[in-house]
Structure 1
Amino acid sequence: MSTANKSIVQRALGGLVATGDVDALAAFLSDDFVHHRTDSTTSTRAEWLAAVGAALGPTTGMRVEILHLLADGDHVVVHSRRRLPDPGPEIVVVDILRIADGLIAEAWEIIEPVAQASANMTWWESTHH
């Protein structure tokens, strides 16, 4: 199951990364797809596809490099680096995708701007003083 699910995600992201066309991604999302952000907000399938189109569409020039693609049961983890055209910011993203019935049913996304990485390593220091 893990290998098949990894293949689903590879195909879904491959089309999106290559063309910036969200229709390539949309074909792999279930109708009741839910996207979760770290602040506990969620997006529907339509809302998330619109956001992805705005962020990764062909006119933004964003470059996406997939660094790791790991699968375990019905979950696939994608670790990627994304950069807007110079001098745009660079971010690192971890997406956790749940696959059900051959489609991406749910996703969780964690985004960290590369420039803030060192500051984020010390978030706990203020609680120990």
Structure 2
Amino acid sequence: MIKTRTLALSLVLALGATTLPAAQAAEAQPAAPAKSHVHDTAAANKALVLNAYQALFGDHDLGAVDRYWAKDYIQHNPYMADGTEAVKQFVEELGLLQGPKFKVEFLRVAAEGDLVFVQTRQPKMGANPEMVIVDIFRVANGKIAEHWDVMQAVPADKVNPRPMY
């Protein structure tokens, strides 16, 4: 009898939970993990960045800088200084506020922890060519705290037919 139980137990362990009756197999499965704090934080950061980006660049709302950017904001773009006043100055110097308001075209958006990655397309504006832009934002304490970007003009003499985005 003991040999039979030991053999049966060995078979169950060797073959896995698939040999258990359905009710026992269901009980043996671990519960799904609760939504993680990291996921919640990433989702909140993503929403903050998308709202900030649309408000500033699409809606031309300079007040968005005060609402969404940290006062000690760090900028890695070599053509911009740190701080919120530098963001406002840069947007004004670009002449963005004189152009028409528009819905920002978010091509790709991803968030992980305190980082949010955004790929956008800026349409041709006057003498400026169509641009593809990748921005990376770090969020801290509910504000945009740091920024990196890569910008590339869409060339007129492309070698392949695929869009850059």
Q: Which runs of 4+ in 1 moved over 3 A?
A: 60-64, 84-88, 116-119
State the shift of 1:53 in Å.
3.0
- Equivalent residue, structure 2, for 1:57: 96
- Equivalent residue, structure 2, for 1:44: 82
Answering whether residue 60 of structure 2 is matched by residue 20 of structure 1, we say yes
- Inter-partner Cα distance in structure 2 for 1:27 and 1:117: 41
Answering whether residue 118 of structure 2 is matched by residue 78 of structure 1, we say yes
Say which SS state the counterpart of residue 105 (structure 1) adopts: strand
Say which SS state the counterpart of residue 116 (structure 2) adopts: strand
Say which SS state the counterpart of residue 65 (structure 2) adopts: helix
- Inter-partner Cα distance in structure 2 for 1:117 and 1:13: 30
- Inter-partner Cα distance in structure 1 for 2:123 and 2:88: 19
Q: What TM-score, normalized by structure 2, do the two folds share? A: 0.61
The question of whether the paired residues in 2 share the 8 Å contact of 1:56 and 1:62 is answered with: no
- Inter-partner Cα distance in structure 2 for 1:27 and 1:17: 14
The question of whether the paired residues in 2 share the 8 Å contact of 1:75 and 1:99 is answered with: yes
Q: Which residue of 64, 72, 87 maps to 1:32?
A: 72
The question of whether the paired residues in 1 share the 8 Å contact of 2:46 and 2:116 is answered with: yes
Q: How many equivalent residue pairs?
A: 117
Q: Which residue of 133, 137, 155 maps to 1:97?
A: 137
- Inter-partner Cα distance in structure 1 for 2:111 and 2:152: 22
Q: What TM-score, normalized by structure 1, do the two folds share? A: 0.76
Matched residues, percent identical?
Answer: 29
Answering whether residue 3 of structure 2 is matched by residue 3 of structure 1, we say no
The question of whether the paired residues in 2 share the 8 Å contact of 1:20 and 1:56 is answered with: no
Counting helix residues as a fraction of each chain, which structure ranks higher?
2
- Inter-partner Cα distance in structure 2 for 1:117 and 1:33: 38
Counting strand residues as a fraction of each chain, which structure ranks higher?
1
Cα–Cα, structure 1 residues 23 and 86, in superposed 2: closer, same or farther, change >3 Å?
same
Say which SS state the counterpart of residue 58 (structure 1) adopts: helix
Q: Which 5+ residue runs of structure 2 have no aligned equivalent?
A: 1-40, 160-165
Q: Which 5+ residue runs of structure 1 have no aligned equivalent?
A: 120-129
- Equivalent residue, structure 2, for 1:124: none
Cα–Cα, structure 1 residues 117 and 91, in superposed 2: closer, same or farther, change >3 Å?
farther
